[in-house]
Structure 1
Amino acid sequence: MMVLPLRAIASQILLLLVAVAIESTVFHRRLAVSRRMSVQYALALDLLCVALGWLGFFVIVEMFGSHPWMIQVMGYVFTGRFIASPGRDGIESVLAGATILLFFSSFFLKTQALYHFQRLNIFPFESEGLYQQFQRAKTQRLVRYQIRVDQDRTILLAHGLSHGAIFLLLVVMILGL
């Protein structure tokens, strides 16, 4: 018998929509790209992170499935509640550490993915202002570096804002407000 975590799927879709909305707005304003391109950036980067995140989750479950902490996490994913058991002690600190690790891992993944998508011309960079900088610059390498730094800062801002909103939504969902 297969168990389908419908609550987790619905929550993931809600959180993904929130993240894409926030991140695409930041991309549109800070990177001077069209709304359509900013939504494509945000959607592609977030879907990549979600897919790799779930893949990593299943690998970790396979490796540590019988550990009390994993039982707690799986219980939360499938039921929306932590299981009251003696093994629950200390799970809060593990979840806090995992959350911080996931935040920075997904930020790194997003910056690298956007860089490689643009390098492979999957996402051509369409900002006119940046093209003008290329034409006026003494060295294209310096301008490319500046563009990359600006994109990384923008991704960090968008990522931080979306994760802050997601954190608030999760608190509301957990507390049942």
Structure 2
Amino acid sequence: MYAYVLPIEVILFQLVILAIAIAVEAEVFYDRFSLTRRQSIEYSTLLNVFSSIASWILFFILQGVLPEFLRLELISYVFLNHFYRAVNALSIPSFLMICGIVNFIFVCIVEFSGTLILQRLAPSAVPVTTPQIPSYQAAKASKKKRSGKKEINLMTALVMSDPHKTIAILIANTFSSGLIFLFFCLLGLLK
């Protein structure tokens, strides 16, 4: 007979993290785009749920690929809130910092991809910025003329498609990640 474990603490933490991220990012989207408060909350909710699902998928893929000692440490920290065995205590903060930076970059890319997907599926649902910004197609055509290359790299696509959206997503993620970090620091102080 198998024993099933329901990680209530992880589910509650994820809900709190989503609530913080949605609130902070909705405020940034409200300030940066011409959206109503309701639209900015809906937009932020869609992007954050999408990035949360993608982050959990990445977590489960990584835990299958990582070496055994790192896999045990990561699973233990995520599900039990402590490390399995702290063999080298100096490597734990650097490991957490690297995981945090990778997660931040991953979430930014996923949320920008979510914006592009939303833009293709429902053009009216995605915030519209000022019209003088060069489009992705125009940037691609000008790059072809200048260099003769048919390919365009990811950073050029991110910046040239709509730099205001890219900057707004980066600012929103920076604020929400900073607030979530402070939340975890406060939890660590209370324990």
Q: TM-score, normalised by structure 2?
A: 0.76
Other structure's SS at 1:52 match: helix
User: Which residue of the partner structure matches residue 117 of structure 2?
Assistant: 116
Tell me which moved more, 89-98 or 5-14: 89-98
Residue by residue, what CA displacement relative to the aligned partner does 1:87-131 show, whole Å, maximum 9, x if unpaired?
Answer: 65523212211211111111111112102211221653465xx5x
Give the letter aligned to residue 28 of structure 1: Y
Structure 1 gap ranges (5+): none
Alignment check: 8 A CA contact 1:16 1:46 kept: yes
Instruction: Tell me which stretches of 4 or more aligned residues in structure 1 moved more than 4 Å.
Output: 139-142
- Alpha-carbon distance in structure 2 between the residues aligned to 1:90 and 1:123: 47
Alignment check: 8 A CA contact 1:49 1:110 kept: yes
Superposition CA RMSD, Å: 2.5
- Alpha-carbon distance in structure 2 between the residues aligned to 1:31 and 1:147: 16
For CA contacts below 8 A with separation 6 or more, give which structure has more relative contact order: 1
User: Which residue of the partner structure matches residue 48 of structure 1?
Assistant: 50
Give the letter aligned to residue 93 of structure 2: E
Alignment check: 8 A CA contact 2:25 2:173 kept: yes
Alignment check: 8 A CA contact 1:5 1:77 kept: no
Tell me which moved more, 49-58 or 89-98: 89-98
Structure 2 gap ranges (5+): 139-158
Aligned CA distance change for structure 1 residues 20 and 52 (closer, same or farther; 3 Å): same
Alignment check: 8 A CA contact 2:64 2:71 kept: no
Aligned-pair identity in percent equals 25
Other structure's SS at 2:5 match: coil
Superposed, 1:69-108 pairs within 5 Å as: 69-86=70-87, 90-108=91-109
User: Which residue of the partner structure matches residue 159 of structure 1?
Assistant: 173
Aligned CA distance change for structure 1 residues 71 and 119 (closer, same or farther; 3 Å): same
